Amino acid sequence: MTLWWIADAVLLFLVVPIVVLLLAGILKAARSIMESVDQIERATAAGSKDLDAAALLLTTRDQVRQTVAVVAGYGGSLDVILDDAE
């Protein structure tokens, strides 16, 4: 009978705190992962929004093509107008 009481006491004062400690650690880790996931979500949303301007690269490419074509035209004209150095 006494041993049983001792076993109960061990169960209550040793096993229960250990179980609580371990499970609390798991819960704390899971909650910290939640915060990290929230931060990652905000970062990816901001990154995706920043990349909205990537579509403007098409306009930039077209304008660069036009500019280089105009420069090539001017260069060709200068090549005809001006004498070579040697």
Partner 1 sequence: MLPIAAIGPGTGSIVVVALIVLVVVYFLVSTILALRKITSGLDRVIGNVGEILDKSKPVEEIVTDINGQLDAGVDLLEGLLVKKAGLVDAVGLIDGLYPGAAAAGLRNFPDSTTVDAPRISEVYTKGTLTLARLGREAPIARGNPAGAVLRNIEGGSLAARLLYPEERQGRPPALPRSPVIGTDAPVQYEQRDDIGKPRKRLPSA
| Alpha helices (H) along 11-55 | 16-50
Distance CA 34, CA 46 (A): 18
Tell me which residues in 1-30 interact with partner 1 (CB under 8 A): 1, 4-5, 7-8, 11-12, 15-16, 19-20, 23-24, 26-27, 30
In angstroms, the first-to-last Cα distance of the chain is 117
Q: Which residues bind partner 1 (CB under 8 A)?
A: 1, 4-5, 7-8, 11-12, 15-16, 19-20, 23-24, 26-27, 30-31, 33-34, 37-38, 40-41, 44-45, 47-48, 51-52, 54-55, 57-58, 60-61, 64-65, 67-68, 71-72, 75, 78-79, 82-86
